[in-house]
Structure formats: C-alpha cells, structure tokens
Amino acid sequence: MTGTRYLVHGVFWDGPEPAAAGRSQPGPEQAAAGSAVLRLQDPAGAFTELALDAGTRLGFRLAAPGKRCLGHHKVHGPADRDHIPCPARAEAARGSQCQRCFVLDDSRLIHDFHRGGRVPPGLRAYLMQPHWLYIATFAGGASKVGTASHLRKWNRLAEQGAVVARYVARAEDGRVVRILEDMITRDAGLPQQVRSAAKAAALAGPVAAVELDTLNRRLAAEVRDLLSRVPADGFGIVDEPWLRPGLADSACLPNGAGVRTARHPYPQGFDSGDHGFRIASLSGSCAVAGLAGTDLEFIVNLGLLKAKTVLLGEYKADVPAVQESLF
C-alpha cells in the first residue's frame, strides 16, 4: 500500500443490527458491536478498506492539493448500486464531486422525491423500502431529526457520530418518512443537520451521557406526541433506542469521568504535510487519538480527509506546544 496514491472516500461503519427492541432506557453501559473503516480508492479504481480499530496507527502524507471528484452512484435497488469513478478525475466543485458527476448521481434526487420529484426506477425501488425516523443527540447536546433506510438503520447513526438516539417512527417508504421529517422540523424546530465541525468540537468536552440521554428522551417523547396527532397512514410510532458502537464509548466520556487528560483539537489541517497518530476511540468520523512524543489526546476529524489524496506510510505529525490547564 505504501507508495500508492489513494483517494479518500471517507469513514464508513458496519455492524450487526443491535437487538434493541424493548429497551426504553438505554444507558452508557449498553453498546452495540460495530466496526469502522477508512475507505480508499487507488488510481485503477479498486477500493481498499483500512480498519480503524482502537490501537490502529494511521500515518499518511497529503499527496496533492485540493479535493478530487469521488465519482457518482447509480442506484438499482435497496441493496444494489454501482459506483462510477469520475472519468476526468476532475477537481471537486460541489463538496466531493465535479459538476458532471453531481448531475449524474442518483442520490441527489432523493431529497425532492417526497415533493413529487421524478426518480429513475432503481432509486424508486430503494426509496420504497421501509424507512425509520429518529432523533439523535450529539456530544455537546445538539440534536436533530433524521431518516435512515431499513438496511442502514443502525449504520447511519454510527456514521453520523450520535451519542444517544431513538427511533420514533417506522414508515412504509422513503416518501412518507421525509414528509414526517419536514413536519418535525417545522413544528418542533428540530434541524435536519448538525455541522461536522460542531460535532468534533463537542468531543473535546462531551456532556455527561445521563444528561444527553435525558434530553434525547424528552425530545423523542415530544416528537412522538406530534406524530400521534398526524391524520395520515403509512407509518407507525415506535419507541426504540439506538445503541452506539462500543468503539465510540470512551470518545463520549466527559472530562474527569475516566478521561485521564484534557482533549485538544488536532493542531494541523489536512491541506498538506505529514500526519500520524494512534486511534484510541472513534465517534462517527472523529477519532480520539494520541501523538508520539506526548501523553495528550487530540480530536481528529477524519471526515475532513474526504476527497483528498494521500500516501500511506510511517508518517508522523509534529508534536504541538500545548499548555495543559492548571485548573
């Protein structure tokens, strides 16, 4: 792998569906099995998945400036899709895609489907599978409403880095669930996004799990109450907790609750240079990691590597001059 230039597609989680049904009071001692990988694409288009377990050392050098297009997807059904690399290997103009690949990507049509937008048959088959409506709360207390397809019910929340979450409805299809999502945003004021930068910053000093659980439980109850007054078919109200992966547990501990040292933001950007650290825990795309030469812990937002080009190897990050707080 060393010497090969890889295009980073991001952090992806996989794991068995946790048997959470019937648990209405999830606690910090409960965790789901789950594993995470950094997905990389070589110049020939082949994918490599680098495991991000506790203890994994990740070293890399930024091999090119800017971001490159990650290509696009054609969706054929609930569990069937093709990834098509960008033929021009163009610069990314929209997040992680060039303009051409953005236009060709089936996924961009999902957000208008419930408003009557036309979609190709494969994407329609994907959208017509059951979907779940959830309320997620993150390390700093920010919360959101969101949706997940049945096949990625657990994975979606793991990849988003939720600390606590509850499913509040099971919808017959993706159209119904997105109508409900928009209604909850309008009537309950819950956003549909929490910025990745805010998630990473919150992990430097997470709120205690019991407080996050209390907040999430209250918000979920309010949303279920709203849903109970919706005069429509196509969904059922549920009260089911999501169990976060065990690999995320120590990342979600507040300072002083088993965390031996204050955490700091990773001091280097991912625009250039050499980087290297050992992962201790992972929440979503954010790692709690240690650098050689210091006992300090750092929050590394691996999501910022998406669409970047890297060389893997025994690269090291410079140890920053961080003054520990005396109080």
pLDDT at 116: 66
The pLDDT of residue 94 is 80
H or E element that contains 214: helix 209-227
Beta bridge partners of 198: none
Residue 113, token pair as written in the block: 């489907």
Give the CB-side neighbour count of residue 93, counting CA atoms within 13 A.
10
DSSP 242-311: E--BGGGTGGGPPBTTTB-S-EEE-SS-SSSSEEEEEEEEEETTEEEEE-TT---EEEEEGGGGTT-EEE
- The model's pTM: 0.89
Radius of gyration of the chain (CA): 20
Instruction: Give 269: exposed, middle or buried? Use CB within 10 Å, 0-12, 13-18, 19+.
Output: exposed
DSSP 225: H
- Write the CB contacts of 240 (distance below 8 Å, at least 6 apart in sequence): 20, 21, 23, 166, 167
Distances in Å between the alpha carbon of 283 and those of 53, 106, 318?
A: 11, 28, 24
Give pLDDT tens digits along the chain (327 positions).
557 999 999 999 987 554 443 333 444 445 566 899 999 999 999 999 999 999 999 999 999 989 999 999 998 888 888 999 999 889 998 889 999 999 999 888 877 777 767 777 888 888 889 999 999 999 999 999 999 999 999 999 999 999 999 999 999 999 999 999 999 999 999 999 999 999 999 999 999 999 999 999 999 999 999 999 998 889 999 999 999 999 999 999 886 555 556 789 998 889 999 999 999 999 999 999 999 888 889 999 999 999 999 999 999 988 776 655 433
Phi, psi angle pair for 93, to nearest 5°:
-105, -30
Return the amino acid letter for 253. L
- pLDDT confidence of residue 16: 56
Angle at 85 between CA 273 and CA 80, to 5 degrees: 120
Cα–Cα distance, 140 to 161 (Å, whole number): 12
pLDDT of residue 23: 39
Alpha-carbon distance 253 to 256, whole Å? 8
